[in-house]
């Protein structure tokens, strides 16, 4: 069992203010696999004070200094990709091979992509008699989720470091072990004391204390829409900059000229990635009504070929859900889909065969789904695919946009220009065409209730920049 009993504040591992503990549960076995301290307002105050003091010098550091440290960190993450994958497998439940490739690999990709980004801060713009310069916003508070324990941390930490900001991180209480390991690597790199600080604890205490602290200049949250609303309300009290990456109910639109079997097969396999616990998951498959049977057959074949098992079991492709509460939520939505009258194609509310221990759920497909059903409108955050038929292309686009969310989307077509024309009409922050790869340096974020702001790549830097006009 991995036990941590200190916070990382001002370059030191320090004892917490209180005595509270958080147990970390292995979702594959339901056994306790770790323990971390539960912080309070005093811990947050100490971490923010350290970050505020460190900003006086780190905020004035050169791009070359920051770039050099980021280069060392990138090497550290790369060297320890296997360990990162193992920790994510342990506390999240992602099968080990996928965990190393996805959780470790995405971490490597994001960290490496920011090595040269600090030099963006030195670019100036001349506007008539004014020079516009970029400056770091200051002290940042980061609240990260459990579904991508490293990626969601570095997506915030890296651009903040590149800009010259200092920070306090509060990772999810469900998956804090990866955050502790990342902190150990940060300490080895040798960033100045106070630049990066780690405090764990519940959102209602540690998270809210960070959001309301007068010396925090920016709060960045990745989480549910409800959490985003709360953070937005708290941050508004002191007019902080609030960056929110929230939920999604993303649609994959299969046009009439597409290879329906390919698109549906891709959707069936993709919804199982990370057990469906992906904010940008393409959980709605919108298909021509006359081709729904073909889509159902292809998606069913794909999803039923996915082996479900524990994170460290050989051959597992989809692991358990992250927690008992998440399992209850997903099973509840599957039952709701049945009750609403959608056709259950495969899966259901019972655990996979032979899985009496662990938070396992069957990968599930519904067809004949109406877009007003709860399983088409609400984020399930599990391996549940809703297939929705349409009659006209205009109706398909309308269905895709008929959502409070707008995080991602997809279009499939035999004609790329046709796909791009439709993609431009989908109100989402990113749209994948014909199964293209995810791009770690393209801006990531959503429209509508999927949040505000953008993460990743050079565009991710903009969240952490203040613009200053100097009139000459």
Is residue 445 domain-resident?
Answer: no
Q: What is the pLDDT of residue 472?
A: 97
Question: What is the Cα–Cα distance from 28 to 204, expressed in whole angstroms?
Answer: 27
Please pick, among 86, 245, 379, 455, the residue that the annotation labels catalytic: 245
245 a catalytic residue: yes
Is residue 208 domain-resident?
Answer: yes
The answer to whether 215 touches 52, Cβ cutoff 8 Å, is yes
- DSSP assignment string, 278-320: -TT---EEEEEGGGHHHHHHHHHHHHHTS-B--TTSTT-SB--
Is residue 330 domain-resident?
Answer: yes
Three-class SS state of 370? coil
Q: Are residues 312 and 457 in the same domain?
A: no
Per-residue pLDDT of the chain (472 residues; tens, 9 = 90+): 899 999 999 999 999 999 999 999 999 999 999 999 999 999 999 999 999 999 999 999 999 999 999 999 999 999 999 999 999 999 999 999 999 999 999 999 999 999 999 999 999 999 999 999 999 999 999 999 999 999 999 999 999 999 999 999 999 999 999 999 999 999 999 999 999 999 999 999 999 999 999 999 999 999 999 999 999 999 999 999 999 999 999 999 999 999 999 999 999 999 999 999 999 999 999 999 999 999 999 999 999 999 999 999 999 999 999 999 999 999 999 999 999 999 999 999 999 999 999 999 999 999 999 999 999 999 999 999 999 999 999 999 999 999 999 999 999 999 999 999 999 999 999 999 999 999 999 999 999 999 999 999 999 999 999 999 999 9
pTM: 0.97
Q: Are residues 229 and 259 in the same domain?
A: no
- Domain of 427? 251-439
- Comparing CA positions, the residue from 285, 281, 384, 267 lying closest to residue 327 is 384
Q: Are residues 272 and 417 in the same domain?
A: yes
Q: What is the pLDDT of residue 121?
A: 97
Number of domains in the chain: 2
Q: Are residues 435 and 395 in the same domain?
A: yes
Is residue 444 domain-resident?
Answer: no
Mean of pLDDT over the chain: 98
- Comparing CA positions, the residue from 221, 183, 234, 237 lying closest to residue 8 is 183
Q: What is the pLDDT of residue 127?
A: 98
Please pick, among 279, 367, 455, 463, the residue that the annotation labels catalytic: 279
Is residue 323 domain-resident?
Answer: yes
Indicate if the alpha-carbon torsion angle 234, 237, 240, 245 is positive or negative. Answer: positive
DSSP-derived pairing of the beta strands 364-367 and 384-390: parallel
Q: Residue 88 belongs to a domain with what CATH number? A: 3.40.605.10
367 a catalytic residue: no
Q: Are residues 109 and 240 in the same domain?
A: yes
Q: Are residues 83 and 116 in the same domain?
A: yes
Q: Are residues 19 and 37 in the same domain?
A: yes
Question: What is the Cα–Cα distance from 292 to 115, expressed in whole angstroms?
Answer: 47
Q: Are residues 129 and 176 in the same domain?
A: yes
Question: What is the Cα–Cα distance from 399 to 401, expressed in whole angstroms?
Answer: 5
Q: Are residues 43 and 73 in the same domain?
A: yes
If you ran DSSP here, which 8-state letter would residue 378 be given?
Answer: S
Q: What is the pLDDT of residue 333?
A: 98
If you ran DSSP here, which 8-state letter would residue 464 be given?
Answer: G
Q: Are residues 199 and 284 in the same domain?
A: no
Q: Are residues 278 and 312 in the same domain?
A: yes
The vertex-305 CA angle with 304 and 311, nearest 5°, equals 100
Q: Are residues 297 and 336 in the same domain?
A: yes
Q: Residue 306 belongs to a domain with what CATH number? A: 3.40.309.10
For the record, the structure tokens of 274 come out as 């990370």
Question: What is the Cα–Cα distance from 280 to 361, expressed in whole angstroms?
Answer: 20
Three-class SS state of 105? helix
């Amino acid at each position: 069992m991995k036990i941590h009993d200190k916070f990382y504040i001002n370059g030191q591992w320090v004892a917490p203010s209180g005595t509270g503990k958080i147990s970390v549960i292995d979702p594959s076995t339901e056994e306790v696999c770790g323990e971390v301290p539960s912080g309070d307002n005093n811990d947050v105050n100490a971490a923010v004070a350290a970050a505020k003091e460190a900003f006086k010098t780190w905020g004035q550091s050169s791009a070359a200094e920051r770039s050099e440290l980021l280069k060392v960190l990138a090497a550290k993450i790369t060297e320890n990709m296997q360990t990162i994958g193992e920790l994510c497998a342990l506390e999240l439940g992602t099968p080990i091979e996928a965990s190393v490739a996805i959780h470790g690999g995405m971490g490597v990709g994001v960290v490496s992509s920011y090595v040269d980004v600090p030099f963006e801060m030195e670019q100036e713009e001349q506007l008539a008699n004014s020079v516009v310069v970029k400056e770091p916003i200051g002290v940042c508070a980061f609240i990260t989720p459990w579904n991508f324990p490293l990626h969601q941390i570095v997506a915030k930490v890296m651009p903040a470091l590149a800009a010259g900001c200092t920070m306090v991180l509060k990772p999810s209480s469900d998956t804090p072990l990866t955050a502790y390991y990342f902190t150990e690597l940060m300490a080895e790199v040798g960033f100045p004391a106070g630049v990066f600080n780690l405090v764990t604890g519940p959102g209602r205490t540690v998270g809210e204390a960070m959001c309301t602290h007068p010396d925090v200049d920016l709060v960045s949250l990745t989480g549910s829409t409800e959490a985003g609303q709360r953070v937005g309300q708290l941050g508004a009290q002191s007019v902080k900059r609030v960056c929110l990456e929230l939920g999604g109910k993303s649609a994959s639109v299969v046009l009439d000229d597409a290879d329906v079997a390919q698109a549906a097969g891709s959707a069936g396999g993709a919804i199982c990635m990370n057990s469906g616990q992906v904010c940008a998951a393409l959980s709605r498959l919108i298909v021509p009504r006359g081709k729904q049977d073909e889509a159902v057959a292809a998606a069913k074949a794909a999803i039923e070929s996915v082996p479900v098992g524990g994170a460290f079991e050989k051959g597992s492709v989809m692991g358990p859900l992250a927690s008992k509460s998440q399992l209850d939520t997903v099973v509840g939505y599957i039952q709701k889909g049945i009750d609403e009258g959608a056709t259950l194609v495969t899966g259901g509310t019972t655990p996979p065969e032979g899985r009496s221990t662990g938070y396992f759920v069957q990968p599930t497909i519904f067809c004949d789904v109406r877009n007003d059903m709860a399983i088409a409108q609400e984020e399930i955050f599990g391996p549940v695919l809703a297939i929705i038929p349409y009659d006209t292309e205009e109706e398909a686009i309308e269905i895709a946009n008929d959502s409070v969310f707008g995080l991602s989307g997809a279009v499939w077509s035999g004609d790329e220009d046709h796909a791009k024309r439709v993609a431009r009409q989908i109100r989402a922050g990113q749209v994948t065409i014909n199964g293209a790869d995810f791009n770690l340096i393209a801006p990531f974020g959503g429209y509508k209730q999927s949040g505000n702001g953008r993460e990743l790549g050079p565009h991710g830097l903009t969240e952490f920049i203040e613009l200053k006009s100097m009139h000459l």
